[in-house]
Amino acid sequence: MKEMPKPLEELSSQALLRKQQIGRVASATLRYLTSAFSSRGFDWLLPVVLSRSTDPLWPDPDNSIEKRLEVDIYGETVRTMMSMIVHKQVACSIAYPRFFVLSPNVRIEKRDRKTTGWHTYEFTQFDFEIRGASAEEVMGLIEEILVGLIRHLRKEVKSELVSLGRFDPLKVPKRPFTVHDRRSLLPKYDGDEWEWETKLPQDIEYPVWVTNIPMEFYDFESPKSGRWDNYDLIVPRYGEILSGGRREWEYDRITEKLARDGLKKEYYALLLKLAQEGRLKPSAGAGIGLERLLTWIVGANHIGEVQPFPKVPGLVYNL
């Protein structure tokens, strides 16, 4: 079992030094990512915390979420943000063709997930969306930025990476990244629908893509072939650090999928209104889990290590 991360006030001097080194790597990572996207013409938007509408985390909402947080304000029920995907689609369609946002997410994971070292109930996603983009364009952009990031970190925070034991293991990925269709992985992993999620990371040396993954209603699914036009980025040893896809924008397709998945239309009323009026535009994007990205970069034993104030499933710290 993984050792649970300790709060700052309980860290030894050696552990505190490691925490500070991780913090410097995190700072360099954020500076690079925000600069890389800004220099490519992306607007930097502010995040949303409470909303009537958020990601349903479908098709298996009970797989990892213990509870959804709701609060009444001004006589209306709103929810804490689990993902800004609905907001991203609306913003990209109406006002901001290319943008990113550092989005705080709250997902109350089931308590047994504290032992994975890969889950946290409060985290930040580096979310971005591009109007009219294809999956291939987004994947190419991410490859370019990730390669640039690792090269940058190996220069900018070399001493920290050396001290953390990650300078040699953290190799610059080779482009293009390998792409696996999820269906092609099934025979290798005993035909199990999701076994590849835990086993594939142990079998790779560099980041790889997995495509065609059954996901939420907003990811584009071909009505003819049933193929999902989406993508997850998997890193060695750890797993998925990015999930994204091309989006559904046509009213009939969205309503069909909402009904199929048993989701309430009223939660997505504005999205449906825009789609019905033809104002919802085709787009593609992704969300990078910043804590997961950092966990891989620094080789953390538990994702809570990269958080100044750990948020481990099943545990509530003083701060």
| CA distances to 27, 87, 291 from 46, in Å | 19, 11, 19
Confidence of residue 80 (pLDDT cuts 50, 70, 90): very high
pLDDT in the model for residue 65:
86
312 within domain boundaries: no
Residue 318 lies in a domain: no
Residue 63 in this model has a pLDDT that exceeds 90: no
DSSP codes, 71-119: EEETTEEEEE-S--HHHHHHHHHHT-SEEEEEEEEE-EE-GGGGGTSS-
Rounded Cα gap, residues 82 and 52, in angstroms: 12
- Residue 85 in any domain: the answer is yes
Whole-number pLDDT of residue 62: 53
**216 domain residue, yes or no:** yes
- 150: DSSP letter: H
Residue 165's domain spans which residues? 8-306
- pLDDT band at residue 61 using 50, 70 and 90 as cut-offs: low
State the sign of the Cα–Cα–Cα–Cα dihedral 258, 264, 268, 273: positive
* 213-259 pLDDT, tens digit each: 999 999 999 999 999 999 999 999 999 999 999 999 999 999 999 99
Q: Is the pTM of this model over 0.85?
A: yes
Question: What is d(CA 188, CA 210) in angstroms, rounded to the nearest whole number?
Answer: 14
pLDDT of residue 57: 84
What's the CATH code of the domain at 124?
3.30.930.10
- Please check the confidence at residue 64 and state whether its pLDDT lies above 80: no
Has residue 319 been placed in a domain?
Answer: no
Q: State yes or no: pLDDT of 173 exceeds 90.
A: yes
Highest-confidence segment of 66-80, 185-199, 274-288: 274-288
Asked if the structure places residue 316 within a domain, the reply is no
Beta strands in 132-218 (DSSP E): 178-181, 208-211
Please state the domain count of the chain: 1
What pLDDT, on the 0 to 100 scale, is given for residue 317? 96
In a domain, 59, yes or no: yes
Examine the pLDDT at 178 and tell me if it is beyond 90: yes
By the 8 A CB rule, do 303 and 122 touch? no
